[in-house]
Structure 1
Amino acid sequence: MDRRRDWVGARAAILLPTVVAILSFATGVVNISEAPVFGPLAAYVPRSAQRAAGFTGALTGFTLLVGVFGLRRRLRLGWYVTAILLPVSAAQGLVQSSAVSVPLVVLSLVSIPTMLFNRQRFDRAIDLSTAQLAAGAALIGAQVYGTAGTFALREEFNNVSTLTDAFYYTLVTASTVGYGDVTPNTEQATLFAMSVVVLGTASFAIALGTLLGPAIEKRLSEALGNMTDAQLELFQDHVLVLGYGDLTEPILEELTGAVEFVVITPDTDTASRLQQRDIAVLTADPSDEEPLQRAGIEDASAVVAATNDDAQDALSLLTANNMNPSATLVAAATDRENIEKLRRAGADTVISPAVIGGHLIVQSALGREGMESVADTILEVDDER
C-alpha cells in the first residue's frame, strides 16, 4: 500500500513533472536543429512549426522547473503552473514530431492524472516577503521604464523600430550584456540610456539578492542542524518526535528505517548531531504551533513525546492534539504521578519505562521467576514487528 501511494502521492506529483521538465528542455533543444520527422502528425507539421515547437518546448521545460519549485513548497500557484504546462508540453511534443519527443508526450499525459489526484495537497498561498515584493516591482518597473522610453525615442536609436526591439535593448542594457548592436544617436537618447543602465543594474542586483538570501539561509540552517521548509514539506504519514532526552534515543533507533520521522528540539547542539546522522530535525520549541506546522503536523500519523520533562511533554502534546486530533499521540512518563496529566494533555498511550522496569525488578527481588523472560519476550515481540 505504501508503494502504491508513492506512485500516486505528493512525491510522484513532484517527481513526474520534474522529469517532464527535463525532457521538455532536452527534446526542445534537439528539435531546434535538424531531427527526423516521426509520428502521426509528421506529414502535416511544417519544419518551421517543428522548430518553433522545439524552441518554445525548451522554454516550457524551464518554466515547468519553476512550477516544480512551487510544488516542493506545496504552493497552489505551483500546482496551477504545472497543471497548465503539462498539456502544453504534450502538445509541443506532438508538434515536434520526432522520435525523441515520444517519451515527453507519454510522460506528460501520465503526469496529468497524478497532478489532479493530488490537487488538495498543494493548498498554500504564496507568501512573499517585503524584500521580494520590492525586488519584483523594481525589476518589472525598470523593464517597463526602459522599454517605453526606448520605443518613444526609437528615432534617436539605431535598429529600434518595434516594442520588441525596445525591450531587447532594455534587457541587454540592464543585464550589462550590451551587445552594442543598438546605440543612441543623440544626447537625449544617451542620457536616457545612462538612466536605463543605472536603474536596470540596480533592479537586477536587488533581484539577485533576494535569490541569494534563501540560499544563504539554507546554509545557515544546515550549519545549525536545521532542515529547510522545502525538505520538511515532502513528509507524509510521518512521525513527529517532540523534544529529545534520555528516553528519545532508543525511540529514534526503532523508528530509523521503519518510518519517516522528524525530531523537533530547541537544543542546537543536539540538532546538529542528529542531522550529522541524517536524521530529519528542526531546531525549535516543540510546544509552539509554528514549528509543528512547518514539520507537517497536519500530515503526521503519530506524535511521540519522550523527554525527561513531563511538563514540557504535556504542553507539546496539547499543542499537537489541537493541531491534529486524528494523529496518534504517545508519551513516556518520567514520573508515575504524571501519567494522568499526560493523558489529559491528549496522549492516547502513556508508558512509564521507569515504572515498568521497577515492577520487573521488584518482582524478581521477591522471588518471582520469569521476570527476565518477560522483558525478553517484550523485546522479541517488538523485533517480530
Structure 2
Amino acid sequence: MDRRRDWLGARAAVLLPAVVAVLSFATGVVNISQVVITEPMFDFVPQSVQRAAGFTGALTGFSLLLAAFGLRRRLRVAWFVTLVLLPVSALQGVVQTSPVSLPLVVLSLVSLPTLLLNRKRFDRPVDLSAAQLAAGAALLGALVYGTAGTYALRDEFNNVSTLTDAFYYTLVTASTVGYGDVTPASEQATLFALSVVVIGTASFAIALGSLLGPAIEKRLSEALGNMTDAQLDLLEGHVLVLGYGDLTEPILDELAKSAEFVVITPDSETAARLQKRDIAVLTANPSDEEPLRRAAIEDARAAVVATDDDAEDALSILTAHNLNPDLNIVAAATDRENVEKLRRAGASTVISPALIGGHLLVQSAMGRQGMENIADHLLDVERESDL
C-alpha cells in the first residue's frame, strides 16, 4: 500500500511533471543545436517545424517547471496548467523526432494518469498578498507604458518598426540589460527612454522584492524551527506527534527508523532544537485545529500523544479525533487513572508506561525470570507494528 502510494501519490504528481520539465527543456536545447536533422520522420515533418518545436519545447519545459512549483503549493491553477502542458510536451517530443525525445514522450504520457488520480489534492486557489498584486500590476503597467510609447515614437527610435521591437526595447531597458541595438534618435525619444528606465527598473525592483520576501520568510521559519508551507502541503501517510515531553524522545527515535513524522509543539526552543536535528516540526498548539489542518491530519496514518500533561493530551486527542474520526490515535497516560479519560477523548489505544514498567519491575523483583526478554519482545513488536 505504501509503495503504491509513493508511485501514485501527490508527491509523484509533483515530481513527474518536474522531471518532464527538465527533459522538455533539455530536448529542446539539443534539437535547436542540431545542424542537420536526419531522423526517419524528417520526410513528414519539415525541419523548420522541428526546430520550432525545439524552441517551444524549451519554453514548455520552463513553464512546466513553474507549474511544478505551483503543484507543491497544491494550487488548482497549477494542476490545470500542468494538465494542458503535458500533452503539449508529448506532442513536441514526437514532432522533434530526436532520439532524446523518446523519454520525454513516454514520461509525459505516464505523468497524466498520476496527475488525474490526485486531482482532489490540488484544491487551493491562488492566494496573492496585496504587495504581490501591486508588484504584478506595477510591472505589467510599466511594460504596457514602455511598449505603447516606444511604438508610438517608433520613427524617433533606431531599429524600431513593430510592436515586437517596442516590447523588446522596453523589456531590455526595464530589466537593465540594455543591449544598445535600439537607441533614441531625438530629444523627445530620449526623454521618454529616461522615463522607461525609471519606471521600468522601479517596477522590476518591486516585483523582485515581492519574490524575495517569501524566501526570507522561509529562512526565518526554519531558524525558528518551523516547517514551511511547501513542506507541509504534500504530507501524506505520515505520523503526527502531538506535543513534546519526556516520553516523546524515545518515540521519535523509533519513528525515525520506519515512518515520516511531524512534531507539533508550542515550545519554540524545543522546535528549534528538533529542527537542528532535521526533525520536521511545527511550532503551534497541538490542541488547535489550524496547525493540525496545516499538518495534513486528514492524510495522516496515525497520531501519537505522549507528553507529561494528560489534560493537554486530552485536548489534543479530542481535536485530532474531531478533525479525523478514522485516525489511529495512540496515547500514553502519565497517571493510570486518566487512561479511560484519554480513551473517551478519542484515543484508539491508551498505554500507561508507568503501569507497564512497574509491573515488569515488580515481577523481576519477585524472582520472575525473563522480564528483560519480555521488555525486549515488546520493543520488537512495536518496531514491527505499522502505525
TM range (shorter): over 0.9
Given residue 97 of structure 1, which amino acid in structure 2 is its aligned partner?
T
Match of 2:312 in 1: 312
Q: Distance in 1 between matches of 2:96 and 2:159?
A: 33
Q: Distance in 2 between matches of 1:114 and 1:379?
A: 38
Percent identical among aligned pairs is 76
Q: Distance in 2 between matches of 1:58 and 1:84?
A: 16
Q: Distance in 2 between matches of 1:316 and 1:347?
A: 10
Given residue 239 of structure 1, which amino acid in structure 2 is its aligned partner?
V
Match of 1:96 in 2: 96
Q: Distance in 2 between matches of 1:236 and 1:190?
A: 58
Given residue 167 of structure 1, which amino acid in structure 2 is its aligned partner?
F
Cα deviation for residue 371 of structure 1 reads 7.8
Match of 1:245, SS state, is coil
Q: Distance in 1 between matches of 2:35 and 2:94?
A: 14
Cα deviation for residue 271 of structure 1 reads 1.8
1:47-86 Cα deviation digits (max 9, x unpaired): 2111111111111111110000011111111111111111
Cα deviation for residue 222 of structure 1 reads 1.9
- CA contact 1:239–1:261 (8 Å) conserved in 2: yes
Q: How does 1:298-377 map to 2 (within 5 A)?
A: 298-362=298-362, 367=366, 369=368, 372=371, 374-377=374-377
Q: Does 2:294 match 1:294? A: yes
Match of 1:32 in 2: 32
Q: Does 2:181 match 1:191? A: no
Q: CA RMSD in A?
A: 1.9
Q: Distance in 2 between matches of 1:7 and 1:127?
A: 29
With structure 2 as the length reference, what TM-score do the two structures score?
Answer: 0.93
Match of 1:180, SS state, is coil
- CA contact 1:36–1:99 (8 Å) conserved in 2: no
TM-aligned CA distance change 1:294 to 1:383, over 3 Å: closer
Given residue 190 of structure 2, which amino acid in structure 1 is its aligned partner?
T
TM-aligned CA distance change 1:36 to 1:2, over 3 Å: farther
Given residue 9 of structure 2, which amino acid in structure 1 is its aligned partner?
G
Given residue 325 of structure 1, which amino acid in structure 2 is its aligned partner?
P
1:268-306 Cα deviation digits (max 9, x unpaired): 222222223222111222122222122111211111111
Given residue 80 of structure 1, which amino acid in structure 2 is its aligned partner?
F
- CA contact 1:147–1:170 (8 Å) conserved in 2: yes
- CA contact 1:245–1:306 (8 Å) conserved in 2: yes
Given residue 259 of structure 2, which amino acid in structure 1 is its aligned partner?
V
- CA contact 1:363–1:371 (8 Å) conserved in 2: no
Cα deviation for residue 40 of structure 1 reads 5.6
Match of 1:122 in 2: 122
Q: Distance in 1 between matches of 2:105 and 2:292?
A: 40
Match of 2:155 in 1: 155
Match of 2:42 in 1: 42
Q: Distance in 2 between matches of 1:214 and 1:249?
A: 32
Q: Distance in 2 between matches of 1:39 and 1:11?
A: 36
Q: Distance in 2 between matches of 1:167 and 1:192?
A: 14
Between Structure 1 and Structure 2, how many residues are aligned? 384
Match of 1:246, SS state, is coil
- CA contact 1:264–1:281 (8 Å) conserved in 2: yes
Given residue 378 of structure 1, which amino acid in structure 2 is its aligned partner?
L
Q: Which moved more, 1:36-45 or 1:322-331?
A: 36-45
- CA contact 1:321–1:346 (8 Å) conserved in 2: yes
Match of 2:42, SS state, is coil
- CA contact 1:329–1:347 (8 Å) conserved in 2: yes
Match of 2:350, SS state, is strand
Given residue 120 of structure 1, which amino acid in structure 2 is its aligned partner?
K
Match of 2:19 in 1: 19
Match of 1:72 in 2: 72
Given residue 77 of structure 1, which amino acid in structure 2 is its aligned partner?
V
Q: Which moved more, 1:344-353 or 1:373-382?
A: 373-382
Given residue 286 of structure 1, which amino acid in structure 2 is its aligned partner?
P
Match of 1:267 in 2: 267
Q: Distance in 2 between matches of 1:20 and 1:266?
A: 40
TM-aligned CA distance change 1:230 to 1:130, over 3 Å: same
Q: Distance in 1 between matches of 2:100 and 2:378?
A: 58
- CA contact 1:226–1:275 (8 Å) conserved in 2: yes
Cα deviation for residue 337 of structure 1 reads 2.8
- CA contact 1:90–1:104 (8 Å) conserved in 2: yes
Q: Distance in 2 between matches of 1:221 and 1:207?
A: 22
Q: Which moved more, 1:38-47 or 1:153-162?
A: 38-47
Match of 1:257, SS state, is helix
With structure 1 as the length reference, what TM-score do the two structures score?
Answer: 0.94
- CA contact 2:254–2:383 (8 Å) conserved in 1: no
TM-aligned CA distance change 1:226 to 1:167, over 3 Å: same
Cα deviation for residue 362 of structure 1 reads 4.5
Q: Distance in 2 between matches of 1:8 and 1:38?
A: 38
Q: Does 2:378 match 1:378? A: yes
- Please, which runs of 5 or more residues in structure 2 have no aligned partner? none
Match of 2:240, SS state, is strand
Q: How does 1:54-65 map to 2 (within 5 A)?
A: 54-65=54-65
Q: Distance in 1 between matches of 2:254 and 2:354?
A: 19
Q: Distance in 2 between matches of 1:343 and 1:298?
A: 20
- Please, which runs of 5 or more residues in structure 1 have no aligned partner? none
